C-alpha cells in the first residue's frame, strides 16, 4: 500500500493534467466583457489569458494548504518529538515553495493581462507572496541552521501559520478595488466548474506525490547517515 | 517567589548588564542616528514627500536596530554559556522567557525613543502632533518584536549562522506588525490626520501582540532545549 502511493498519485496527476487541459481549452468559454458603448458582449482584456486562472487558483490553494500542513505537523513534532512529523512539515514546505513560485508567476501574468501591470499588490497576490516568503525562510533555516534546524524551522512554521489570519486581515483591510476574479466567475458561470475541479484534483494529486517522494528521500538520507555512522564506529569505513 | 517577580528579576539582570556596559544602547542609538542622516540625504525634503515617507523610515529603523540589538543581547548569554545556567536555575522557563522579552522590549524602545525625535528634527516631520497614539503604537511594536524575537534569538543561540538567520526568520513573520506600525504612523502624519484608521491599526497590533505572546509562552519551552 505504502509503496503504491507515489505511483498511484503520480498517475492520477498525469491523467488529471490531460483531462484538465482538455476541459480548460475545449469546454470552457473565452472571457468576455460587456462593451460599454454598444452594450454587447466583446472580448475583454483577459480573453484567452483568463485560462491561466484554473491552474493559478489550484496552485494557490495548494500553497495555502501547505502552510497549514507544515504548521500542524510542526506542532505535532514539538509535542511528540517524532521525526516523522518533521519530515512531513519540511517536505510539504519544500514542495509548496515550488508551487508558490508558480502562483506568483501565473498571478503576475494575470495581472499583466487584466490590469496591464506585472505586479499591483492585489490583496490575494500580496497574501500569496507573504506566505511564500515565510516558506522560503523556512527552507533557508532548514538548510543553514545546522543540528537544531528542525526545532527552529518548526517554530517558524507554527508562527507562520498563526500569522495567516493577521496577514489576511491586513491585506483585506486595504482599500483595493475588488479583483477581476469575481467578474470572471460571473461571465463563465457553470461551465467553469468541471475544468476548475479537474485542475484542483490534478495539483493536489501532484502535490501529494511530490511530498511523499520527498519524505521518502529524507528518510533514506537519514538511514544512509546512520549506517555511515555505524560503519565508522565499527571501523569498516574511514 | 511568583512568576512575575522572577521574570522581573531576570529582566532587571539583563538591563543592569546593559546599563553597566551600555554597549547595545550606545551603538544602536548611533546606528539609528546614522540611518536618519542617510534618510535625509536619500529622500526628498518637501512637506508632501516627508509626510508619506516618514512612517516607513521610522519602522525600517526600528526593524534594523531591533534585530541587531536582539542578536547581540542573546550573544551575551552564549559567550560564557550563561544561557545554560539561566535555564538550569530553579525558575520556570516561562519566567526566563518573560524576563528576556521585557528586557528586549526596553532595549528596542530606548532606540525608538531617540530615533523618533531625530526624524522629527532632521526632516521636520509632524510626528508629535499625536504623540500619545504614536507612543502607544511604538510601544506595541517594540513589544511584538521583543516577544517573537526573543523566542527565535534564544532558539538560534547555538546556530553558527544565527546573525543572518534571525532576520530571515523574523521579517516574514513580522510583516503584519510593520505594516500596522507604518499604517498607524501614516494615518497620524497625514495633512488631514485620520485617527479612526490609526486606532484600527493600533487595535490590530494589540491583538497581534497578544496572540503571539500567548503562542510564544506556549512554544518557548519546547523550542529552547539544551
Burial of A223 (0-12, 13-18, 19+ CB in 10 A): exposed
Tell me which chain A residue has its CA closest to the CA of residue B148. A159
Alpha carbon of B119: minimum distance to chain A alpha carbons (Å): 26
pLDDT classification of A161: cutoffs 50, 70, 90? very high
Q: For residue range A187-236, what is the model confidence (pLDDT) as tens digits?
A: 455 667 788 888 889 999 999 999 999 999 989 988 998 899 998 988 88
Residues 120-179 of B with CB under 8 A from A: 148, 151-152, 155-156, 158-161, 164-165, 168-169, 171-173, 175-176, 179
What percent of chain A stands above pLDDT 70? 82
pLDDT classification of A175: cutoffs 50, 70, 90? very low
B210 contact A CB<8A = no
Q: What angle do CA B22, B23, B24 make, to 5 degrees?
A: 100
Domain ranges of chain B: 3-223
Higher pLDDT residue, B90 or A185? B90
Q: Which residues of B touch A137 (CB under 8 A)?
A: 168-169, 171-172
Q: Does A232 map to a domain?
A: no
Structural domain boundaries, residue A113 = 7-218
Tally the domains of chain A: 1
**Low-confidence winner among A51-55, A177-181, B17-21, B71-75 (lowest mean pLDDT):** A177-181
Q: For residue range A123-150, what is the model confidence (pLDDT) as tens digits?
A: 778 888 999 999 999 999 998 888 888 8
Residues 6+ apart with CB under 8 A from B179: A170
Q: Does A228 map to a domain?
A: no
- Interface contact B175-A140, CB threshold 8 A: no
Residues 6+ apart with CB under 8 A from B111: B25, B28, B29, B32, B61, B62, B65, B66, B69
Q: For residue range A10-65, what is the model confidence (pLDDT) as tens digits?
A: 888 889 888 888 887 777 666 555 555 555 555 555 566 677 778 888 888 899 89
Mean pLDDT on B152-181? 91
A137 contact B CB<8A = yes
**Unique residue bearing C-alpha cell 512637506:** B47
Instruction: Please report the pLDDT score of residue A123 as a whole number.
Output: 79
CB count within 10 Å of CB A127 equals: 19
pLDDT classification of B61: cutoffs 50, 70, 90? very high
Residue A155 near residue B170 (C-beta atoms within 8 A): no
What are the percentages of helix, strand and coil residues in chain A, rounded to 5?
Answer: 85, 5, 15
Does B226 score more than 80 pLDDT? Answer: no
Q: Which residues of B touch A149 (CB under 8 A)?
A: 159
Alpha carbon of B212: minimum distance to chain A alpha carbons (Å): 8
Residue B106 near residue B172 (C-beta atoms within 8 A): no
Mean pLDDT on B19-24? 88
Structure-block grid coordinates of residue A28: 470552457
Does A77 score more than 80 pLDDT? Answer: yes
Alpha carbon of A95: minimum distance to chain B alpha carbons (Å): 19
Structure-block grid coordinates of residue B186: 501614516
Amino acid at each position: 500500500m505504502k509503496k503504491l502511493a507515489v505511483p498511484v498519485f503520480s498517475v492520477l496527476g498525469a491523467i488529471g493534467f490531460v483531462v484538465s487541459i482538455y476541459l480548460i481549452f475545449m469546454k470552457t468559454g473565452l472571457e468576455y466583457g460587456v462593451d460599454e458603448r454598444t452594450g454587447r458582449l466583446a472580448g475583454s482584456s483577459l480573453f484567452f489569458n483568463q485560462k491561466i486562472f484554473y491552474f493559478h487558483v489550484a496552485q494557490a490553494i495548494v500553497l495555502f494548504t501547505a502552510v497549514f500542513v507544515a504548521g500542524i505537523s510542526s506542532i505535532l513534532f514539538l509535542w511528540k518529538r517524532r521525526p516523522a512529523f518533521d519530515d512531513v512539515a519540511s517536505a510539504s514546505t519544500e514542495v509548496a515553495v515550488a508551487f508558490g513560485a508558480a502562483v506568483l508567476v501565473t498571478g503576475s501574468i494575470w495581472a499583466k493581462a487584466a490590469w496591464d501591470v506585472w505586479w499591483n499588490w492585489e490583496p490575494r497576490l500580496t497574501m500569496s507572496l507573504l506566505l511564500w516568503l515565510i516558506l522560503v525562510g523556512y527552507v533557508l533555516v532548514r538548510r543553514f541552521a545546522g543540528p537544531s534546524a528542525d526545532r527552529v524551522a518548526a517554530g517558524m512554521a507554527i508562527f507562520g501559520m498563526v500569522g495567516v489570519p493577521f496577514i489576511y486581515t491586513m491585506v483585506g483591510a486595504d482599500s483595493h478595488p475588488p479583483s477581476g476574479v469575481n467578474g470572471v466567475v460571473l461571465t463563465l458561470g457553470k461551465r467553469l466548474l468541471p475544468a476548475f475541479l479537474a485542475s484542483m484534483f490534478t495539483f493536489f494529486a501532484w502535490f501529494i506525490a511530490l511530498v511523499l517522494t520527498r519524505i521518502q528521500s529524507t528518510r533514506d538520507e537519514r538511514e544512509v547517515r546512520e549506517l555511515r555512522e555505524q560503519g565508522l564506529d565499527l571501523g569498516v569505513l574511514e | 517567589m511568583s512568576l512575575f517577580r522572577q521574570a522581573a528579576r531576570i529582566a532587571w539582570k539583563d538591563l543592569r548588564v546593559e546599563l553597566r556596559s551600555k554597549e547595545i544602547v550606545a551603538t544602536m542609538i548611533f546606528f539609528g542616528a546614522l540611518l536618519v542622516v542617510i534618510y535625509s540625504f536619500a529622500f526628498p525634503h518637501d512637506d508632501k514627500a516627508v509626510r508619506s515617507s516618514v512612517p516607513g523610515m521610522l519602522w525600517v529603523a526600528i526593524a534594523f536596530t531591533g534585530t541587531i540589538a536582539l542578536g547581540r543581547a542573546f550573544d551575551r548569554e552564549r559567550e560564557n554559556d550563561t544561557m545554560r545556567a539561566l535555564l538550569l536555575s530553579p525558575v520556570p522557563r516561562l519566567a526566563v522567557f518573560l524576563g528576556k522579552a521585557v528586557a528586549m522590549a526596553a532595549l528596542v524602545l530606548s532606540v525608538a525613543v531617540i530615533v523618533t525625535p531625530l526624524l522629527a528634527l532632521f526632516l521636520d516631520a509632524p510626528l508629535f502632533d499625536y504623540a500619545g497614539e504614536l507612543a502607544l503604537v511604538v510601544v506595541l511594536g517594540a513589544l511584538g518584536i521583543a516577544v517573537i524575537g526573543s523566542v527565535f534569538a534564544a532558539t538560534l543561540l547555538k546556530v553558527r549562522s544565527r546573525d543572518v538567520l534571525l532576520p530571515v526568520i523574523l521579517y516574514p513573520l513580522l510583516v503584519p506588525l510593520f505594516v500596522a506600525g507604518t499604517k498607524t504612523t501614516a494615518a497620524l502624519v497625514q495633512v488631514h490626520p485620520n485617527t479612526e484608521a490609526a486606532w484600527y491599526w493600533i487595535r490590530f497590533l494589540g491583538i497581534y501582540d497578544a496572540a503571539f505572546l500567548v503562542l510564544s509562552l506556549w512554544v518557548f519551552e519546547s523550542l529552547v532545549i539544551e
